[in-house]
Amino acid sequence: MNPINEERLLKEFLEFVQIDSESGNEKAMGQRLCEVLKDLGLEPITDEAGKTYHSNGFNVFARFPGEGEPMVLSAHMDTVVPGNGVKPVIKDGVIYSDGTTILGGDDKSGICGILEAVRVIQENNLPHRPAEIIFSIGEEGGMRGAKAFDCSQLKSKRAYIFDSSGEVGKVIVGAPGQIKVFADVVGRRAHAGLAPEEGISAIQVMAKAIAKMNLLRIDAETTCNIGTIKAEYATNIVPDRCSIIAEVRSRNFDKLNAQAEHIRQCLQEACDEAGATLEWNPVTNYVSYNIPEDSAIVTDLLSCIEKIGREKLVTLGGGGSDANIYNQKGIQAVVLGTGMTKVHTTSESIKIVNLNDTARLALALLTMEAVR
């Protein structure tokens, strides 16, 4: 395995995390990635994905020619809030923020690993497989960049998504789908002191419905949670509208839909009992995927993990990623750990050794002998 340039890799990571790129504001990061790809002799292609969710950013796509079966290497450029003004700090071989922001290793560690692998191949004139490189936007807000990406331009049948916490060597072969539920109970307004019996309290109806719902951990594959309940009225008004926003996740498609239907039934029964009306709007945000552990995409990956001396961990995920979208679009995709920890918090960090090994794994994938 040819060595990566650890000093260069670290320098680029520190540069990238200091470029503001919260979801919806990825333009500067996208522009910088286009510059870097051009410096590598590649031709970046951008799109108008940002217009689909009021972002100033765009997906960045580039082809890295090689011999054999192509593969997608991907990571996302957007971060969660608070992600502006990141000031990276290095202590005892670990990179942190200064504690006022996230670090942005999610997912700039993946971006840097892919870019460093390309550089090493070019510098050492190594035989390698073709790569279709995708740096997406809007992943944190529901994989909106991947959803808008035109996959018809891809030749690859498999995709490696560098975007998970956990050690390098972690492979996520399955993840749940998600239905987002937006529901309103509509009652009847009345004066709470003079004629409360003339009203139908939407809050009361909603409370009765929620009390009957199975929530949180449903089974090993399924979860359900209500994140928002909203109804703001003066205390002398019987409220005529109460809203909830909830989510259902499951790695089983039938269970996903069944749990959403359970929520609807609880709401509808409570509305029918009180004479209220239900406004129901479920949105399938993404669907689940399950990749067999003996499939080529996994076995090739595990051999590469072994090659760089890391421990292999094949597991299932609990959240969505761009892999959900690519699998839905017919491209077999798995998610790889990059060693980032405590993501989405101001305590986020990544060990420099994990940053290095992320690049080594990308390099191993591109130069692996197996061609299927």
> In this predicted model, what pLDDT tens digit does every residue of 211-246 receive, in sequence order?
999 999 999 999 999 999 999 999 999 999 999 999
| pLDDT (mean) for 289-316 | 97
139 is catalytic: yes
Per the prediction, the chain carries an average pLDDT of 96
Structure tokens at 314: 């094949």
CA distance 108 to 317: 20
Kind of pairing between the strands at 349-351 and 94-96? antiparallel
pLDDT at 141: 82
Tally of CB atoms within 10 A around 205: 25
Contact yes or no for 364/191 (Cβ under 8 A): no
| pLDDT (mean) for 242-263 | 97
Q: Is the dihedral of CA 259, 262, 268, 274 positive or negative?
A: negative
261 Cβ contact partners less than 8 Å away, ≥ 6 residues apart = none
Choose the catalytic residue: 78, 106, 116, 132.
78
pLDDT at 2: 60
Choose the catalytic residue: 12, 26, 139, 163.
139
189 Cβ contact partners less than 8 Å away, ≥ 6 residues apart = 199, 237, 238, 239, 240
Instruction: Indicate whether 31 pLDDT > 70.
Output: yes
Instruction: Indicate whether 29 pLDDT > 50.
Output: yes
Contact yes or no for 32/135 (Cβ under 8 A): no
20 is catalytic: no
| pLDDT (mean) for 165-169 | 97
Instruction: Indicate whether 372 pLDDT > 80.
Output: no
Q: pLDDT tens across 332-370, in order?
A: 999 999 999 999 999 999 999 999 999 999 999 999 974
Tally of CB atoms within 10 A around 329: 16
